[in-house]
Structures are given as structure tokens and as C-alpha cells.
Structure 1
Amino acid sequence: MPSLVLIPARLGSTRLPGKPLADIAGAPMIVHVLRRALESGVGPVAVAADSPEIVAAVEREGGTAILTRHDHASGSDRIYEALEKIDPDRLYDRIVNVQGDLPTVDPSIIRQAVELLDDPEVDLGTLGAVIRRPSEITDPNVVKLVGTGEGLRRRALYFTRATAPWGEGELIHHIGLYVWRRAALARFVRLPPSTLEKRERLEQLRALEAGMRIDAALVDDVPLGVDTEHDLERARDILKARPL
């Protein structure tokens, strides 16, 4: 089925204000994310922006950007507004949400996430990686995916900031890249925040509590998410040493 990639981006980050426009190797961070998404080859790409400055940066690169409301509660809400504007004829059934702070994301993992929706029973695809660093096991900022199955594909049962599941065995670091079936996204944004979503501060739990099926593909590495000045310097080092 046709796929459309949407990249939510907003200037008002609390930890790193203006980060979509932060310079990395001579280009704004949002432009690097746009390039990675285009390289995935899964379909057209557009940025769902909260400000004219982001729109201008994307358009200077020759990309497509949609100006959305600045007060959306989440990236899911922002991409849904952009989707309704860019595709009123509903040509696209798979909507890929690539976060706007992943300038070094491997295009191949975007493709892996999209392929999860080849199964018609799946409402939402995402990604995970086996935790290798001991410090991440108890870190509440590292969200754990609890799922069933073996190999490189899991069906999600829960997401948590706690260390789970208990006992011997691997733990899975959830990667917040999503591929929505269009009908599932439309349903999701109309639902109120759920009990567990508010408790864990994880919006994907709203989908699980509503009975949606989420499958995850396991990949080798967690892409670098830029949330702090330290992350930004790491991204600059990566892209300077190994331009993508």
C-alpha cells in the first residue's frame, strides 16, 4: 500500500529550543532528517512544522513542509493535521512518523518499520533494539517494549519506563518511530489520553488500551535522538566524520 512519510517538527523544545534549525555539518537538523527519510524510498516525504522558520528551511532544501498549529499536544496530532491538508483525497494508507530529532537515522530501519504493515492485522508498526548497556536497564528515560514472539519481530503487549519484564532474558529498548495505518491514526487522535498513558507518560499506551495491535521490528542500533547540547555535538561529530 502507498506510504507517506511525515516528520513532525517544532521550535519550542524545552531542553533544546530551536533544535530543528540547529546547524549540523552545514545544514539544519530538520534537513538531515528529511534527507534520511527520502533515502528510505518508502514514499513522498513532508515536514509537519509549527513555525514558518522551519517551513522556509525545508523549502530551501527543495522539500515539502506543511505549516500546522503550534499548540498540538503530540507529534501524532501534528502529523494528522498535516496529513489531512496534504492528502485530502486519501491516497496514502500507511503514514510514517519519523521524529524530527533523528538526523542520523538509518533509512533502512524506516523500511523495516513500514514492512510490518504488510500484515493486515497490524494497526501500528514501530521499532526496538536489544539493550546492551547496563546503565539503560534501570534508566526511566529508556522506554522498554514488552512483547511476545521471537526473532526480529515482536507483538507489543506493553511499554514502560520500568525495568520489564522481570527475570532472565533480553530487554528491548523502544525506538519511537511509528508507521500508522491511516484509519488507526485517525481513531487514535480522537481518543482521550488513557489511564496508563498518563501514568507512564507514553502515548503509545493509548493505542494498546484501545485494543490496537502494535508490532515491532528489532534493529541493531538505537538511532541518536537529539534532546540536549551534548546530543547535538554527538550528531555533529557523527555527520562530520561520516556524512550520510
Structure 2
Amino acid sequence: MIDPRILVLIPARMAATRLPGKPLADIAGLPMIVHVLRRAEAAGIGRVAVATDTPEIASVVTAHGGEAVMTSPTHPSGSDRIHEAMQKLDPDGKAEIVVNLQGDFPTITIDNIREVLPPLQDPAVDIATLASQIHTEEEDLAPSVVKAIGTSLGGKRMRALYFTRATAPTGDGPRYHHIGLYAYRRAALERYVSLPPSPLELQEKLEQLRALEAGMRIDFTIVDTVPRGVDTPADLETARSILSKS
């Protein structure tokens, strides 16, 4: 039974700088955006739609039985795009939670999608996300790997204190790789997109810092696997290799 209180929105656009046209890149016989759509639908947590500014993407999604919503081509971020999509798909405000699932996560697991929701059972939490423990020096040192720094709340849940591209925190102990899957309370998304970019957001080039600087609470769940994002031709080949075997 699909929960009408949850919207799962997948922002997708063609104008990616490093890999133009990537939502429609073929992976094991299907466009990448369709792989993400299928996994979101299989998670069964809510109504799923692709939010795009490109008619070609919308046509591919609908041709594969999915729902697409057209949004403005001028949005500066995926968060702004899903906010417009939410307003169009749910003008009456029935959806209480909006999940932002990136359209370049073709290897994300169904479990990962489901695991983003539990922190929102706590009414004090505005935004929920995921992270996975770092186990290699390469991951530890790479600025492309965003580190989630938090305080443990017991079990696999942590309250986020900061996000950074630096290797942090220093010293002995675990470090965590942030996974860019978010679940927003509707009011939190509304507030987030109304705020101007914050100083730390601009310095680190990390949108989630806008929410922290505004005093919003982000909790994250520790999961076992990191979905491979597709940003480069090499990433695309890795995704093709993984999904051709599944």
C-alpha cells in the first residue's frame, strides 16, 4: 500500500557538466533514469515521480510506465526542482514527507531508500539522510567524498553536526561518507528553498550546510553500502558493469 503522505521525487536534467545527457545513458538495456525509477517504485514507500526540465526525459519515463512532472529549467538545485514538483503534484498539501532521490544513483538499493525515513519518526528532526562508514584511505582523503560528522544517538542513528569535503574529524575513530539521499518534512523543504545560500554552503559547495546554518536538524542513518553516483564516463562504465551482472 503506497503511503499518500510520502512523495519520492527524482530530479533529472540533461545539462550535467561532466556527463551531458546522463539520465538517458544506456545501462544494461535501460536508460539510467529508469533504473532509479524502478528502484524507487520497488521500495514501495510512496508515490514516485521524476521531476525534469527536459521533454525527452519525461517521454522516456512515461514510456516505461512512470510518472513525470515538468519543472523550470532555471532551478539552481535539485531541492528547488523537487519543491516545484511537490507543489504541482500535491497542491492540497497531503504529502507530509518529500524524498529527494538523485537521478544518478542507478545502483542504489531498495533498502537504502527505505532506510532514509526512520529518523523522521522523531518530531524534532527536519531532514533525514544516510551515511556509510569509510574503510579506505582513498575515500578518506578524496574531496569528492563528503564526510558527515555527527554525534551518536544509539544504534545506527546520528545527529549531524557538520558536513565537509575535508578529512574529518581528525584523530582515531570512524569517519562517515555522506550519501546524498534526503527525506524532508514538507515544512522543512518549504523553509529550505526560501533561504538564501549560506556562507558555509558557498565555501564548501554543500547545500545541506544551508539547513544546518539556519538551525534545522538533520539526522542520518548509518548504512552498509554506498550507491555509486554517476558523474563521469568512468562512473558510467562502473554502473554498467555492476548492473549487467544483477
TM-score by structure 2 length? 0.97
C-alpha displacement at 1:126, in angstroms?
0.2
Equivalent residue number for residue 134 of structure 2: 131
Equivalent residue number for residue 157 of structure 2: 153
1:216 is the counterpart of 2:220: yes
The alignment partner of 1:156 has SS state of strand
In 2, Cα distance between the equivalents of 1:87 and 1:151? 34
In 1, Cα distance between the equivalents of 2:227 and 2:99? 16
Identical counterparts, % of pairs: 60
Equivalent residue number for residue 79 of structure 2: 76
Q: Deviation per CA, 1:192-226, whole angstroms, max 9, x where unpaired?
A: 00010001000000000011000000000110100
Task: Output the amino acid matched with 1:64.
Answer: E
1:85 is the counterpart of 2:88: yes
1:67 to 59, 67, 70: 70
1:20 is the counterpart of 2:23: yes
C-alpha displacement at 1:10, in angstroms?
0.4
Task: Output the amino acid matched with 1:35.
Answer: R
1:45 to 43, 48, 55: 48
In 2, Cα distance between the equivalents of 1:161 and 1:26? 34
C-alpha displacement at 1:151, in angstroms?
3.3
Q: Deviation per CA, 1:37-76, whole angstroms, max 9, x where unpaired?
A: 0111101100001100000000001110001111211000
In 1, Cα distance between the equivalents of 2:66 and 2:237? 25
Matches within 5 A, 1:62-211: 62-149=65-152, 150-211=154-215
Task: Output the amino acid matched with 1:192.
Answer: P
Unaligned runs of 5+ in 2: none
Figure out how many residues of one structure are paired with residues of the other and give that number: 242
Q: Deviation per CA, 1:115-173, whole angstroms, max 9, x where unpaired?
A: 21111110000000000111111111110001001431100000001111111100000
C-alpha displacement at 1:104, in angstroms?
1.0
In 2, Cα distance between the equivalents of 1:69 and 1:90? 20
Task: Output the amino acid matched with 1:23.
Answer: D
TM-score by structure 1 length? 0.98
The alignment partner of 2:116 has SS state of helix
In 2, Cα distance between the equivalents of 1:237 and 1:109? 20
In 1, Cα distance between the equivalents of 2:44 and 2:122? 20
The alignment partner of 1:110 has SS state of helix
In 2, Cα distance between the equivalents of 1:118 and 1:104? 26
In 2, Cα distance between the equivalents of 1:151 and 1:15? 38
Task: Output the amino acid matched with 1:186.
Answer: E
